[in-house]
Structure 1
Amino acid sequence: MNYHQPTCLQAAILDWAGTVVDFGSFAPTQIFVEAFAEFDVQVSLEEARGPMGMGKWDHIRTLCNLPEIAERYRAAFGRTPTDADVTAIYERFMPLQIEKIAEHSALIPGALKVISALRDQGLKIGTCSGYPAVVMARVVELARDNGYVPDHVVATDEVPNGRPHPAQSLANVIALGISDVAACVKIDDTWPGILEGRSAGMWTVALTCSGNALGLTYEQFKNLSKDKLEQERARIGQMFEGSRPHYLIDTIADLPAVIDDINARLARGEMPQSS
């Protein structure tokens, strides 16, 4: 039996916050600030956004490893944070996250229309997130109420290693019965999510304006001047350079043209690993 390269996409693997829901990715970032504050440690929203895309325990550990935050913790407790301290913050983060997730559950403008178009082209819709399963259950419930029901969901604690490892995307490939990872496209607003897709051998699309990197509401984004928007696109593009996304677009509303281009490249025999 001979190997046959895929000639069109079979699945889109979508992130959640900042990609399909929660324009600006406010739900996770604001709760990090509040969780640390309950331990009398101040963390700015900008600092909280830094490791976005990782699993939430790993995100907190990464924040605690920052010299500035570690010093604030030492000033409060007389020591730098241990893994046990990280777990304590995480355990406070979780109920806060579940409690407030509904405040930032709105679908990103254009998302439902694009996802419907993908389905019309025969693509299956897989999803993954840095949220653990207990939070994802609430996110999925809220999305269903708003008309969004993906074909599969993988939470960060349902695989051995979360992002930037490829496990969540690959779990979607298995569950959805996809024949080849090159027939998948991963769409995400964070560099760990793009690395996840790259490591899984997929096409990757980075969202520059709807997610964590820009960190604005939809209204604030739409009110940016042309010059300011171009400056922000350039800044965010540099942030993504190391993860090597195949495409950069503003929001999921711009995805259809990318899907057409990927299908054309696959039909010509191109593969995601070669670019």
Structure 2
Amino acid sequence: MTYRLALFDIAGTTVSDPGFVAQAFVGAMTAAGHPIDHEACRPLMGYPKPLAIARLLGDRASDAAVKAIHEDFVQRMLVCYREWPGIEPLPGAESIFALLRANGIKVALNTGFSRDIADAIIERLRWADRIDALIASDEVAQGRPAPDMAQALMQRFAIDDPAQLVKVGDTEVDIGEGRNARTGLVVSVTTGAFTRAELEPYRPDRIIDSLFELPALLGLADGARNAAA
């Protein structure tokens, strides 16, 4: 298969997340009078954040409550990604981006974050020139696991065959997105929210422990060795 687009998740897949996302969820929920613990957030990683908040609230959810908590969450994440230490590319991310692009494969990022948070990450890491596209969950009708973001990128790059996409992420909703978009390859990484054992029941095509393993899956084995050097 000839791949034309690699679609990567951000936090936990290409960017380190030392628990900051869960911390922002816990802080925003607690400030609103709905205390939760960090473990409650983990199954919801990767989902559009308003949906995740609604699920955390359960029968206490209302449009107003979700909106207020999400606005607090966004502000906490903006401070985190703009100011806090520990925000850095995961090993292999930048070199793999370069390798894929050198071989004619577009590199795109997508996320369950809103666009303002995604932009803060790209600005912090100075990735604007390292990727070909960025799309966030609030820019489409439905976020992951719906295929809307992947399909929007296919349209942007005039890709008619979804089998020419590879989806890479660290959560079950990344897998769901890849399946729903009918991408040619769905790859899970163990660098983020879920362990290998937790990812296996969702049946991605491959599970890898490092982005350095990705090029070999795409037939770029020699480049993978160079990227890791």
TM-score range, shorter chain: 0.7 to 0.9
Whether the aligned pair in 2 keeps the contact of 1:36 and 1:42 (CA below 8 Å) is yes
Q: How much is the aligned-residue C-alpha RMSD, in angstroms?
A: 2.0
Q: Which moved more, 1:101-110 or 1:116-125?
A: 101-110
Whether the aligned pair in 1 keeps the contact of 2:167 and 2:187 (CA below 8 Å) is yes
Give deviations 1:130-171, integer Å, cap 9, x for gaps: 0111111111111216x8621011110000000110001111
**Which residue identity is paired with 1:18?**
G
Equivalent residue for 2:73? Answer: 93
What TM-score do you get using the length of structure 2 for normalisation?
0.88
Equivalent residue for 1:36? Answer: 29
The DSSP-based 3-state class of the residue aligned with 1:260 is coil
Q: How many Å apart are 1:115 and its aligned residue?
A: 1.5
| Among candidates 176, 184, 187, match of residue 195 of structure 1 | 176
- Looking at structure 2, the residues matched to 254 and 29 of structure 1 have their Cα atoms a distance apart, in angstroms, of 27
- Looking at structure 1, the residues matched to 214 and 6 of structure 2 have their Cα atoms a distance apart, in angstroms, of 11
Q: How many Å apart are 1:23 and its aligned residue?
A: 4.5
What TM-score do you get using the length of structure 1 for normalisation?
0.74
Whether the aligned pair in 1 keeps the contact of 2:171 and 2:199 (CA below 8 Å) is no
Q: How many matched pairs?
A: 218
Equivalent residue for 1:116? Answer: 98
The DSSP-based 3-state class of the residue aligned with 1:211 is coil
| Among candidates 199, 210, 222, match of residue 237 of structure 1 | 199
1:140-179 correspondence to structure 2 within 5 Å? 140-144=122-126, 149-179=130-160
Indicate how the Cα distance of structure 1 residues 148 and 188 shifts in structure 2: closer, same or farther if over 3 A, else same.
farther
- Looking at structure 1, the residues matched to 22 and 160 of structure 2 have their Cα atoms a distance apart, in angstroms, of 36
- Looking at structure 1, the residues matched to 143 and 163 of structure 2 have their Cα atoms a distance apart, in angstroms, of 20
Equivalent residue for 2:226? Answer: none
How high is the sequence identity, in percent, across the aligned residues?
Answer: 31
Q: How many Å apart are 1:40 and its aligned residue?
A: 3.3
- Looking at structure 2, the residues matched to 251 and 82 of structure 1 have their Cα atoms a distance apart, in angstroms, of 40
> Can you give the 5+ residue segments of structure 1 that lack an aligned partner in the other structure?
1-6, 71-79, 215-232, 262-275
Give deviations 1:76-117, integer Å, cap 9, x for gaps: xxxx33232122211211111111124342000111111211
Equivalent residue for 2:223? Answer: none
The DSSP-based 3-state class of the residue aligned with 2:126 is helix
- Looking at structure 1, the residues matched to 108 and 199 of structure 2 have their Cα atoms a distance apart, in angstroms, of 25
**Which residue identity is paired with 2:71?**
E
| Among candidates 186, 206, 209, match of residue 250 of structure 1 | 209
Equivalent residue for 1:182? Answer: 163
The DSSP-based 3-state class of the residue aligned with 2:218 is helix
> Can you give the 5+ residue segments of structure 2 that lack an aligned partner in the other structure?
221-229
